[in-house]
């Protein structure tokens, strides 16, 4: 085995050691209690506060908010469900009375994730409403909001939305460590020098 191959092996060993000492990637799932947010009664608005500390050295890189088998209880046109990302909602599920209508209760309280209307209504269609926060460009905001261990969502149904449960799926990756990257860079440079000196 040549010196270069040996050094290459050593570099992998260093990288593996750094990775082992640092953070891991992870997949996490969160569900409110009650899981269907009390069936999203149109008379109310709802908040869901999640208490969670992103593991040290990790950052959220993907997040999906899913409302399973959502359906409006009847056929109607004015049936918006407004969903917002919130910074510091009260932990757990809470609701307040805003009656049906009156627009988006959470307007100006964190970014609007989406406005949903059931194009059919009256019966279940096994349709899962999925908001991909990465596609919406909201990952930096999610990380900022979660940094104090509390973040969540606001829902204002202006119609009655039955569903089989709300879930937040989160994926984390290790935060790149500048010191480790510099270390690897120096090691890489040393390898390059060895190669060139032949």
Return residues touching Ca ion (CB under 5 A): 79, 87-88, 98, 102, 105, 118, 121, 145, 148, 150-151, 156, 158
Smallest distance from the beta carbon of 167 to Ca ion, in angstroms? Answer: 20
Backbone angles phi, psi at 3, to 5 degrees: -60, -35
Smallest distance from the beta carbon of 40 to Ca ion, in angstroms? Answer: 8
| 171 touches 64 (CB < 8 A) | no
Of 73 and 151, the one with the shorter C-beta distance to Ca ion is 151
Smallest distance from the beta carbon of 155 to Ca ion, in angstroms? Answer: 9
Sign of the alpha-carbon dihedral angle for 121, 122, 127, 130: positive
Smallest distance from the beta carbon of 94 to Ca ion, in angstroms? Answer: 14
Smallest distance from the beta carbon of 56 to Ca ion, in angstroms? Answer: 17
Smallest distance from the beta carbon of 49 to Ca ion, in angstroms? Answer: 9
87 contact partners, CB below 8 Å, separation of at least 6 = 110, 145, 150, 151
Structure tokens given for 23: 């953070």
Of 132 and 143, the one with the shorter C-beta distance to Ca ion is 143
Of 32 and 121, the one with the shorter C-beta distance to Ca ion is 121
> How far does Cα 125 stand from its chain's mean position?
25
Of 102 and 140, the one with the shorter C-beta distance to Ca ion is 102
Rounded CA-CA distance 36/43 in Å is 16
Of 100 and 169, the one with the shorter C-beta distance to Ca ion is 100
Of 151 and 161, the one with the shorter C-beta distance to Ca ion is 151
Looking at the DSSP bridge assignments, the partners of residue 96 are: 45
Q: Per residue in 128-152, is it b (16+ CB within 10 Å) or e — as a string?
A: ebebebeebebbebbbebbeeebbb
Half-sphere exposure of residue 95: CA atoms within 13 angstroms, side-chain side: 18
Whose tokens are 């191959």? That residue is 5
């Amino acid at each position: 085995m040549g010196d270069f191959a040996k050094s290459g092996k050593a570099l992998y060993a260093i990288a593996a050691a750094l990775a082992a000492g640092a953070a891991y990637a992870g997949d996490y799932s969160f569900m409110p209690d009650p899981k269907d947010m009390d069936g999203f009664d149109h008379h109310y608005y709802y908040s869901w506060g999640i208490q969670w500390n992103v593991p040290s050295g990790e950052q959220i890189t993907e997040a999906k908010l899913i409302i399973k088998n959502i359906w409006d209880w009847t056929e109607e046109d004015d049936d918006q469900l407004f969903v917002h990302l919130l910074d510091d909602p009260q932990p757990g599920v809470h609701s307040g009375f805003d009656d049906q209508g009156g627009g988006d209760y959470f307007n100006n309280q964190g970014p609007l994730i989406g406005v949903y209307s059931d194009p059919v209504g009256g019966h279940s269609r096994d349709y899962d409403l999925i908001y991909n926060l990465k596609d919406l460009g909201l990952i930096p905001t999610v990380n900022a909001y979660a940094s104090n261990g509390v973040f969540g969502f606001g829902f204002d149904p202006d119609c009655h939305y039955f569903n089989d449960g709300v879930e937040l799926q989160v994926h984390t990756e290790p935060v790149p460590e500048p010191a480790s990257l510099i270390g690897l860079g120096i090691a890489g440079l040393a390898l390059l020098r060895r190669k060139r000196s032949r």
